[in-house]
Each structure stands twice: as C-alpha cells, then as structure tokens.
C-alpha cells in the first residue's frame, strides 16, 4: 500500500450537526495524522464535509490513494458509499468511541451500507485522548497501512447452533403460518437518513415470507386531517390515565405542551387507520427527513405502536420500525411471533447501538434510540404505560415540538437479532444477551453522556466489545425479553435467511 493517505470527513445532511462537530473532527483528524506520522505515513485532507451523495462522488470518486473517513458524529452512509463504490483502494473508517459524539454509530451504519453494496473496508476505533498512545489502535492502523485491511478475531461468530426439538417445532409452526399468509409490511417512506443498508425491497423480502406496500408519508398529513378530534382527546386521556409522565415546559422545552402530544397522537391514529385499511402486519416509519419540518416527531407514536397498552389497541403490539429500517422490521416481526408462540410477552424493542463501557466485570452497551422502545421494557406489565416519560425531542434536531417515549429498561434475559444484506443475500444475526440493572448514579452518568431524553437500556450482548465493533452490520438492533434464541435461528433458516450466530462463551 502506498505511503500517502487521503483523509475525509463524512457528514450529516444537516448543517447544524456538522457545525457542532467541527472541534471534535478537527481534534480527531489531528490525532489520526499524528498516528500516521508515527507509522511513517504522510497524508492529505479532502476539503470540507461531505454532506450530499454528489459531494461523495465528486470528492472521493477520483481518489486512488488509500482513504480514511474520520467518524466523530452521526453521518449518512451515502456520503461515503457513493464516492467509493466500484473502487478497490484501501478504505478505513476510523472512529472515536463516545456516546456524546457517537462516531461509532456512524461507523456501524456506514460499514453496513458499504457491505450491502459489496465495497470492502476496514474499521478501527479508540476512546483514548491520544490516539497514538493506544497500542491496540496503533497496531490495527499499522496493519491497515501495511496490508490495506484489518483482520479481526471471529471466534464468537458461528453459522449454526444447536436447536432443541421444542424450539424447532415452534419455529416450524410459525414458518407454516407465514407460508399460509405472508407478512405484509407497510412502508411509510424508506431509507431514512441514507440508511441504504436498511432497505431490502420486494425482490429479497418476497423470498423470506414478507411483502411490502409503500405509502408516501404525505398520506400521514392528509389522513391526519380526517382524524376526529374526539379520538385524539380520548387517546390523550388514555395515555395519561395509563401512566405516562409528560415533561412539559421544562428547560429547553418551553414549546412542548399538551397540544404537541395531541398532534403526535393525530399521526398515531392516522397510521392506525392506514394499518386497518391495508390489513398490514407491521410497519416501517421513515419520518426523517421528509416530515421533520412539517410534523412533530414520530417517536411517541412509535413507542405506543410497539406497546400492547395503547389507544384503540386490539391487544397486540403493532411492530413499528423507526427510520423505515427493514433490517430491524423483519426480525422484530419474526421475534414477536415467536414470543407469542412461546407464551411470552410479544413486545420487541428497537434500539441504537450507541455506546458502552465496563460494568461489574463485563462490557455493557448503552442501547438508546429516540422512541421505538415499547412500554413493556420499562414496567414488564402489558396492561400499563407506567414508567413511560415523554421529553421534548431536542430542538436543535427537531424543530416542531413533540415528545419522546422514554424510560429505564428493566433487567432480564434477552434475545437480539438483526437482518442485513451481504453478498446479494439476506442474512440474520442472532444472539443471546441480558438487560442489566445498573446503580442509579452510574446509569445517570451514562445516560446523561448520551441523549437523556431517549429510552435507556443497558445490555450485555453476550460477546466482546470488539466482536460487535468489528463485525456487526448496523447501528440498530432488535431486542426482546426472554429466550427465543433457538427458535429465531431455526425460523430464520426455515424462511431462507443465511444465519450468523453471534455468541460468546458466556
């Protein structure tokens, strides 16, 4: 590999996050340059943020030197992918490991985007203040500089798992139900914020028992106008009576009030009406960026949909995948069906893999997504919304006021999964984990260091930190309470997924 390296800054579409990240990306780039110099490599910088797909094509497409993207905040996959696809020069995503400035989240999403289009890349990350003093990071960077790629241990990955006879029978029964009536997903838009890795389309979905029906998000606005005010008022009374705590008018939330929540409930009811009209089984809701300046955030509605206790409920959850991410939608619906078949509560939570740290002798991840975690995580009682809090979504990112669907996830054994595209085929990761109870002071420190308005889950995913960072192909994860690990492996295989078991020795 050549000695000269090009460094670029993949960015957000929105100007404000990039502006806020300037000090952090500047410092990280200086750290990276110092590390490269220590290894005898020279570099140059690709000018400015890459904030649009065409900028990726124009700025990266002509670069034949090895490339390093500096990952210090959330950024869009196409702002790297579209400029490097079809090329084979060495590519590295180098990330900080921070919950406040979640470069690792952008790395995981962009890595999955690159994998979905068959573009080889490597990953490296560090939480050190001085990158060049982190021996592990430096060894990986040296390996990349020498060979053009970084190899990671795969001892916690497998492609089969023992499945009990009972688990196999449960999976067979659920698969038979799907073959009798394939699962219909309503897609309210798609590919939110450039998550091209999260869209599979009918050509792949149809092979694994799913169909999709796309509806433009403009329908939510149109149908919302037709929702009777009495339904909205009744829904608001319901969520208050069932225990939601609303944090109206607090610091930074002067414009967050009952009317904002009622507008969120208007959208919730409009989506319920669409679900009823099309007799859908589950849905993906894009929201960002199309509705961002037009409607309040979708998070409160999504949290309700993923709860059995909700206005106008039929007693079931209605699986809703935020950001129209089919990579979570598909496993969430399958896990829901398996949970019900085993007599467990059907709620499946949607989360970001946001950050993590050592706790009680093991590595624990902070799973933190803005709203698609159902109430069951916070109370383990399907009949109530107790434990749910709604804070204003941060105004810097969400101009129209509206609340989150937030709480502290209770401890318990869990199963997690994720669908993704690799080599032109659909794959399913399946793992066992545990939601962990943390001391209040430590939990608050971790939560406050990420996004305090969003639902908090501390989870041991059953494998080392490096296994997730090196191999996982998303920034999202579907997680459910209870052991359906064997059933999920068997069902995924029966439906035609390639299965990767992500499981350590614990």
The pLDDT value given to residue 191: 81
Residues 6+ apart with CB under 8 A from 17: 11, 73, 74, 397
* 357-381 average pLDDT score: 95
Structure-block tokens of residue 492: 């995924």
> Does 1 score more than 90 pLDDT?
no
> Does 83 score more than 60 pLDDT?
yes
> Does 289 score more than 90 pLDDT?
no
Q: Which residues of 271-292 are buried (b: 16+ CB within 10 A; e: fewer)?
A: bbbbbeeeebbbbbbbbbebbb
d(CA 424, CA 207): 12
pLDDT tens-digit readout, 215-261? 999 999 999 999 999 999 999 999 999 999 999 999 889 999 999 99
* 119-134 average pLDDT score: 96
d(CA 488, CA 338): 7
Structure-block tokens of residue 394: 């941060």
Full set of structural domains in the chain with CATH? 4-147 (3.40.50.10940), 165-502 (3.20.14.10)
pLDDT tens-digit readout, 132-190? 999 999 999 999 999 999 999 999 999 999 999 999 999 999 999 999 999 999 999 98
* 341-347 average pLDDT score: 98
Question: Which band of pLDDT confidence, cut at 50, 70 and 90, is reported for residue 105?
Answer: very high
Q: Are residues 319 and 417 in contact, defined by beta-carbon separation less than 8 angstroms?
A: no
Question: Which band of pLDDT confidence, cut at 50, 70 and 90, is reported for residue 2?
Answer: low
From the list 146, 101, 131, the residue with the least C-alpha distance to 5 is: 146
Q: What mean pLDDT, rounded, does the chain reach?
A: 96
> Does 264 score more than 70 pLDDT?
yes
> Does 371 score more than 80 pLDDT?
no
Q: Are residues 228 and 369 in contact, defined by beta-carbon separation less than 8 angstroms?
A: no
pLDDT tens-digit readout, 458-497? 999 999 999 999 999 999 999 999 999 999 999 999 999 9
* 321-334 average pLDDT score: 97
pLDDT tens-digit readout, 380-402? 999 999 999 999 999 988 999 99
The pLDDT value given to residue 193: 84
Alpha helix ranges (H) inside 181-319: 202-205, 218-225, 229-241, 258-278, 299-305
From the list 212, 405, 411, the residue with the least C-alpha distance to 297 is: 405
Percent of the chain with pLDDT over 70: 99
Structure-block tokens of residue 288: 């960002």
Question: Which band of pLDDT confidence, cut at 50, 70 and 90, is reported for residue 194?
Answer: confident
pLDDT tens-digit readout, 410-427? 999 999 999 999 999 999
What single string gives the DSSP state of each residue in 451-481?
Answer: -TTS-BEEEE-SS-HHHHHHH---SEEEEEE
The pLDDT value given to residue 268: 98
> Does 506 score more than 60 pLDDT?
no
> Does 3 score more than 80 pLDDT?
no
Total residues found in the chain within this entry: 506
Strands (E) in 301-388, as ranges, are 320-322, 349-359, 362-367
Q: Are residues 360 and 115 in contact, defined by beta-carbon separation less than 8 angstroms?
A: no
> Does 430 score more than 80 pLDDT?
yes
| CA 297, chain centre distance (Å) | 17
pLDDT tens-digit readout, 9-66? 999 999 999 999 999 999 999 999 999 999 999 999 999 999 999 999 999 999 999 9
């Amino acid at each position: 590999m050549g000695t000269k390296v090009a460094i670029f800054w993949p960015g957000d579409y929105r100007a404000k996050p990039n502006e806020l990240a300037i000090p952090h990306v500047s410092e990280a780039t200086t750290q990276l340059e110092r590390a490269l110099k220590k290894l005898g490599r020279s570099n140059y910088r690709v000018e400015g943020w890459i904030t649009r797909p065409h900028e990726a094509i124009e700025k990266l497409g002509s670069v034949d030197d090895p490339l390093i993207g500096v990952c210090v905040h959330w950024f869009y996959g196409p702002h790297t992918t579209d400029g490097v696809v079809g090329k084979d020069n060495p590519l590295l995503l180098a990330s900080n490991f921070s919950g406040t400035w979640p470069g690792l989240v952008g790395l995981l999403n962009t890595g999955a985007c690159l994998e979905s289009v068959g573009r080889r890349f490597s990953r490296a990350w560090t939480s050190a203040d001085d990158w060049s003093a982190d021996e592990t990071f430096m060894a990986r960077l040296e390996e990349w500089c020498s060979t053009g790629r970084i190899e990671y241990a795969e001892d916690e990955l497998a492609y089969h798992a023992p499945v009990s006879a009972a688990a196999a029978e449960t999976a067979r029964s659920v698969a038979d139900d799907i073959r009798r009536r394939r699962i219909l997903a309503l897609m309210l838009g798609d590919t939110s914020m450039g998550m091209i890795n999260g869209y599979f389309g009918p050509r792949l979905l149809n092979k694994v028992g799913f169909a999709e029906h796309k509806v433009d998000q403009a329908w939510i606005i149109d149908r919302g106008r037709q929702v009777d005010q009495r339904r909205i008022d009744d829904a608001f009374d319901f969520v208050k009576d069932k225990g939601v705590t609303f944090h109206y008018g607090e610091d930074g939330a002067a414009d967050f009030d009952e009317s904002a929540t009622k507008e969120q409930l208007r959208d919730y009811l409009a989506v319920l009406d669409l679900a009823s009209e099309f007799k859908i089984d589950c849905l993906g809701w894009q929201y960002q960026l199309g509705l961002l300046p037009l409607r309040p955030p979708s998070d409160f509605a999504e949290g309700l949909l993923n709860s059995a206790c909700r206005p106008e409920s039929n007693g079931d959850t209605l699986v809703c995948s935020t950001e129209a991410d089919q990579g979570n939608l598909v496993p969430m619906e399958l896990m829901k069906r398996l949970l019900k078949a085993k007599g467990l509560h059907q709620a499946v939570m949607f989360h970001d893999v946001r950050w993590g740290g050592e706790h009680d002798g093991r590595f624990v991840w902070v799973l933190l997504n803005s709203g698609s975690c159902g109430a069951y995580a916070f109370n383990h009682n399907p009949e109530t919304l107790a434990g749910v809090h709604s804070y204003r979504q941060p105004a810097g990112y969400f101009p129209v006021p509206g609340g989150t669907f937030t709480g502290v996830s209770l401890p318990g054994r869990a199963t997690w999964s994720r669908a993704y595209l690799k080599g032109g085929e659909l794959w399913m990761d399946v793992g066992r984990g545990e939601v962990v109870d943390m001391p209040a002071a430590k939990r608050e420190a971790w939560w406050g260091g990420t996004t305090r308005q969003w639902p908090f889950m501390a989870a041991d995913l059953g494998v080392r930190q490096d296994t997730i960072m090196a191999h996982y192909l998303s920034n999202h994860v579907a997680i459910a309470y209870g052991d359906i690990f064997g059933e999920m492996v068997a069902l995924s295989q029966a439906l035609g997924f390639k299965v990767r078991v992500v499981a350590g020795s614990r």
